[in-house]
Amino acid sequence: MSEPLIELKGVTAGYERSPVIEDVDLVMPRGEFLGLVGPNGGGKSTLLRVVLGLLAPWRGSVRLLGRNPRRSRRRVGYVPQYARFSRDFPISVREVVETGRLGRTRGMLGYRAEDRQAAERALSMVELDALAARPIGNLSGGQFQRALIARALACEPELLILDEPTANVDPRAETHLFELLRRLNGYMGIIVVSHDVAFVTRYVHRVACLNRTLVCHTAETLTAEVMENLYGHPINAVQHASEL
């Protein structure tokens, strides 16, 4: 039996003297598509930092791809909610995607042929190869998000983590992005952080509900009562309609 992608046992973590997540247990098998939901301040970002080895837990154990997270995180692709560069910066889509190889290439010596090949494969996977030479600032919101996913894929990850990937796209682009993630899930495990609970449950295998403590549900058992208990108030489902 293969090692799980993630294994957390009794994890408590926080900042200074304030715990943010407490006694969290989570086993994520290979090939899973996991949704992570919860209110703002509920600990989602803290949990991701613990998983990636960026924050040491106060108690409990953390394994990422069967090892200490700091030794495994280069095998994880990460798509942040907000890109940390200006879209006005004069750089092409291909050049953005190639930066996903920085953890695997030779640093100041430049990209190798295998780095460029990995970037081209990533562009093809997200169907942006025809736009590779276009300035990044000329992309639509959905195209830009796919470029960020391609950058994460360029490191050839075993696990892909996305933080609110559809926060700044329209409903049609949101559907396209999740269909893309569904296809990518055939090659890697995926965690997606989302506030759009009704939408994300169409695609994921399980939903991890986090508000200081964590409970996992299948999409079928994620009832309105469960969500009201998680968020502390009723959650309205939003119907997404798009012409594909």
Distance between CA 32 and CA 185 in Å, rounded?
7
pLDDT confidence band for 244 (50 / 70 / 90)? very low
- The predicted structure's pLDDT at residue 242: 38
Q: What is the mean pLDDT of residues 207-217?
A: 92
Written as six digits, the tokens of 143 are: 């195209």
User: How confident is the model at residue 106, as a pLDDT?
Assistant: 63
pLDDT of residue 240 exceeding 50, the answer is no
Instruction: Indicate whether 110 belongs to any domain.
Output: yes
20: enclosing H helix or E strand: strand 18-28
Q: How far is CA 29 from CA 3, 186, 190, 205, in A?
A: 8, 13, 10, 11
Is 88 inside a domain boundary? Answer: yes
Tell me if residue 236 falls in helix, strand or coil.
coil
Residue 93 located in a structural domain? yes
pLDDT given at position 84 = 64
Average pLDDT of every residue of the chain: 87
Domain assignment present for 237: no
Looking at residue 237, its amino acid is: A
Q: Report yes or no on 182 lying in a domain.
A: yes
Give the tens place of pLDDT for each residue, 165-211: 887 788 888 899 999 999 999 999 999 998 878 778 889 999 999 99
Confidence grade of residue 119 (pLDDT, cut at 50, 70, 90): very high
With beta carbons less than 8 A apart as the criterion, state whether 20 and 211 touch: no
Distance from C-alpha of 92 to C-alpha of 97, rounded to nearest angstrom: 9
pLDDT digits (tens, 9 = 90+) for 92-102: 999 999 999 98
Structure tokens at 170: 């329209």
The pLDDT value recorded for residue 66 is 94
Asked if the model's pLDDT at residue 222 lies above 90, the reply is: no
Q: Where is pLDDT greater, at 126 or 85? A: 126
Per-residue pLDDT at 238 exceeds 50: no
pLDDT at 115 over 70: yes
pLDDT on residue 90:
85
CATH of residue 135's domain is: 3.40.50.300
Q: What is the Cα 145 distance to its own chain's centre?
A: 12
User: Which segments of the chain does DSSP mark as H helices, in order?
Assistant: 44-51, 69-72, 93-98, 113-125, 141-153, 171-184, 197-200, 224-231
DSSP designation for 4 = P
The predicted-structure confidence for 50-78, as pLDDT tens digits, reads as follows: 999 999 999 999 999 999 999 999 999 99
- Min mean pLDDT across 27-41, 126-140, 210-224 is at 210-224
Task: Find the domain containing 96 and state its range.
Answer: 6-231
pLDDT at position 80 = 87
The residue written with tokens 């003297």 in the block is 17
Residue 241's φ and ψ, nearest 5 degrees, are -125, 135
Q: How many structural domains does the chain have?
A: 1
Q: Does some domain include residue 236?
A: no
Instruction: Report the alpha-carbon distance of residue 150 to residue 137 in Å, rounded.
Output: 16
146: burial class by Cβ within 10 Å (0-12, 13-18, 19+)? buried
Q: Is residue 243 in a domain?
A: no
Classify residue 1: in a domain, yes or no: no
